[in-house]
Chains A and B, each alone.
Chain A
Amino acid sequence: GQQLNQSPQSMFIQEGEDVSMNCTSSSIFNTWLWYKQDPGEGPVLLIALYKAGELTSNGRLTAQFGITRKDSFLNISASIPSDVGIYFCAGPLSGGGADGLTFGKGTHLIIQP
């Protein structure tokens, strides 16, 4: 089946630093999604990408849809304490007509005071 590989698995940074994480796929995706999950909550959509090469921002977050359609990147600028959480990339499950998403294992962002 499809596999999404996220890296890094976890990041320990200081407040104010910029963050970069990425996701690669074993197959081509037509959509890339980035979600954030706070402790004890369900994931929340941050950014959706629908076109190869697309660069989209949401406040301090910027995500890119890789040209090969097999990767995507998420950057967070000037991190703040509320950025702490788990960031997941996701894409459509394959299989003609099937719905639902497949998720990476997540990047755990920890901000040190």
Chain B
Amino acid sequence: NAGVTQTPKFQVLKTGQSMTLQCAQDMNHNSMYWYRQDPGMGLRLIYYSASEGTTDKGEVPNGYNVSRLNKREFSLRLESAAPSQTSVYFCASSPVRASTDTQYFGPGTRLTVL
């Protein structure tokens, strides 16, 4: 049982480049989330998806787009990367809602934007 998987584990981009972070879960969960974690900070929600075909903004959505490709997969896209987007990105999933169900996190993608 893999749980939540993320690719890639590490990535270095130049300012202005684009990339997509991939996330997949095999627990048949309805809800999926993208968070970022900066040094000395807690996690901040970027976007979430309550079900296939729906997405909603979180606390810090600017500069990002997401796609809920199917029930298993939720991708995060940076169209034009900026140094301020250097961070560790975590994908998570919950059976229904993060506040009432256990939220399971992936291992993270460490992104550096030069």
Give 3 closest A-B pairs by Cβ, nearest first. A42-B105, A103-B42, A92-B99
Q: CB of A1 within 8 A of chain B?
A: yes
Q: What's the nearest-Cβ distance from chain A to residue B5, in Å?
A: 11
Contact check, B43 vs A99: say whether CB atoms are below 8 A apart: no
Q: Which of A13-21, A43-51, A57-65 contacts B (4 or more CB under 8 A)?
A: A43-51
How many contacting A-B pairs (Cβ < 8 A)? 67
Q: List 16 A-B contacts (CB under 8 A).
A: A1-B59, A30-B99, A31-B100, A41-B108, A43-B90, A91-B99, A93-B45, A99-B33, A100-B33, A100-B48, A102-B59, A103-B42, A103-B44, A104-B42, A106-B40, A106-B42
A43, A45, A48, A92: which contacts B43 (Cβ < 8 A)?
A43
Chain B positions within 8 Å of A, measured between CB atoms, are 4, 31, 33, 40-45, 48, 50, 56, 58-59, 90, 92, 97-100, 102-103, 105-108
Interchain CA distance A31-B4 in the complex, whole Å: 24
Contact with B along A15-45 (1 / 0, CB 8 A): 0000000000000001100000000111111
